[in-house]
Every structure is written in structure tokens, then in C-alpha cells.
Structure 1
């Protein structure tokens, strides 16, 4: 059995507000992963979209609503099944709500993403961000 068979999938929230996307920095680094989107394990009976909404509130104190599932893959760095959901901010201000897991949050401009994630994003996520933030790129 692989890790993908034995561990629950991870759901990530792709939250765009204005001309920026929300990223969080984990307190404990996962290999090369330092900055990433709010994310966490999908719980029993929960959809990927529901998990993205819950994890964003738990980690970053931001209430969001899921817009659409952007895609799924086995993450090349962690081997975990990943789901990516586009979300819209509903209320609250992003901050470190779970200090055990996170040490920072940042609203990142389109042209800064490569500085936070130098190895590149999952193609459907990059395409979504290019579409919604692309006109703001310099």
C-alpha cells in the first residue's frame, strides 16, 4: 500500500481577494514545501470543497465559500492525494489562527508567486490564477 492509499487526501483552498492569493507558511517544513495554500486532511464524510472551507477557517481565520474544484493530483513532493478548490472570501481577516501549524500568512501578487513556490504550481491552479490575477501581473 502506498501513502496515497492509507492517508486521507489533502484539500487546499485557492483564495483570491483583490489582486492577490492567500498563502500560508507552515511552522514545520514539509521537504521543499514552505509556503503553500491553506490546506489539510479531508475528514470522513467531507467533500474536498468542504475541507478547503473548514481548513481555511481553522488555519487562517478566514470564512470562505467554495466556488469550484480546480483539480486533483498526487503531489510530486509529498506523495499525498491533493484536491485544489477555488474559494471566495466571505468574511474575516486572514491571520495565523492556528499557531501550532502556521507561523505566517501572506497575500501574494501574481508576479510574486514564483518567489513563494519556486518549483511551480499544479497546472490547473496556475491557469486559474493566471486567469483571475493575470491582468495584474507586471
Structure 2
């Protein structure tokens, strides 16, 4: 049997979901879901291998968080001696089914589908993926991550959507409002967009994003600071990456 030293695998998280790939075991004609990953190549670090495998199998360029779990394969008679699992978020690219890039495995496996799975949903989850993800759930929910709510505040004026953004003088960029007393506390039209992970200056963040659409009778608190922008004006300012990604998705929905 083919033997490899290390398998790397990655939980790529976005909007409170993570990527699962559907694999086809060609010889057994079996299908199963698993996270992106594969064998580390000669000369690669674990981190380099994870970034490469994520891109080859999902089309996503990722940022690895400084959290990884090392262990041994859960499958008996595995070709790997060691398994390293990472937590990451996407920074660029469009999620799509990639290829099984390892030539020696192409005759055994192929990737046939992709889905985003709710991070805390165990429905239909196999034991292997559950055992891999559960430690990360505990880590994210621990005090290792700073938890905060951020608000995508939108209003309609003359049939044009405008978004309220706050300016971070330290980063010199615009982003979402994240002080709860800065927006209306009671709002009629809201939607939870899930959580996003990020890292900044050594701090890890779990950011729950809430989309608020103000009607003509709703007003912001007087304490609220920020500036209103039309979507077309956002190209003219420096915009925080997660903020930019979410606004692009919201604009495509309209």
C-alpha cells in the first residue's frame, strides 16, 4: 500500500459554515464527504501544504489561523502516519470543486461535489469529521477568540441602498459598526449572516455579522458615528476585507 508521512486538512470557515468535499472511491464505487486536504510534499511545511491543498481542491486562497491540531489517522491501515488539521478562512477566490492533485491517488479517488456545512450542525456528519471539528468548536467558543457583533446597516434613499460604515483611524480603513450602542437596538428587518473568523495584531476574532435594513421610520442612536456610502462609492475607499466580501455578496443578491 502507498505510504505517506503527513496528511494536512483544513476547516475553511466563512459565514458560520465550512467546506466539505464529496469524494468518490473509484474502486469501491463509494462516496463520502470530507474536508479539503492531502499529502504533504517533500520540502513543504505543514502550513505550505495546507495552503496549496486548499487552493487545488476548492479554488480558495486561504489564511491559516495560528491553531492546528496534530494526531494520528482515525482510519485503520491509513497511508499516512500523521494528520495535521488547520483552521482557516478564505481571503480570495471562488469556491468550486477542484481536482485530486496527487498523481498516485487519481486512480483511487476523485472529487465530485462541494457544499458549505453549518459549523455547529452534526446532522449527517460522519464520526471522522465530527472528531476533527469538535476540538475546534471548543477552541472558537473559548476565550482564545474575542467575540463581537458587527452590524451591516443599510437604508433606502431614493430607491438607492446606502451602507453605514465606521472609520478605523488605527487601520486607516472603513468597516462595519461593531459597538452595539451605536445602532438601533430594536430593528424590524434583520438577518444573521453567520460568523467570520479573523486575526489582527495577534488577536483572534469570532465576528457575528447582523444585517439590518432600516425603514423610513427607524433612526440610529445619536451616539452612532460613521458615514453613509452607496455601493458604487466603495471602490474609492479602503475597505476591510471581510466587510468588502460581505457587501459584494449582498449587492449580488439585489
Per-residue CA distance 1:18-65 (angstroms, 9 max, x = gap): 110111111227999821110010011111121111001101111112
Number of the residue aligned with 1:17: 14
Higher RCO by CA contacts (8 Å cutoff, separation 6 or greater): 1
Which of 34, 44, 58 matches 1:60?
A: 58
SS at match of 1:102: strand
1:117 to 104, 122, 126: 126
Could you tell me the TM-score, scaled by structure 1's length? 0.77
| 1:128 counterpart residue number | 136
Q: Identify if the C-alpha distance between structure 1 residues 119 and 42 changes in structure 2 by more than 3 Å, giving closer, same or farther.
A: closer
Unaligned ranges ≥5, structure 2:
101-105, 142-193, 195-254
- Which protein has the bigger helix share? 1
Within 5 Å, which residues of 2 pair with 1:63-78? 63-78=61-76
Quote the Cα distance in structure 2 between the aligned partners of 1:91 and 1:67.
15
Contact 2:35–2:129 at 8 Å: present in 1 too? no
Give the length in aligned residue pairs. Answer: 132
Partners of 1:86 and 1:60 in 2: CA distance: 15
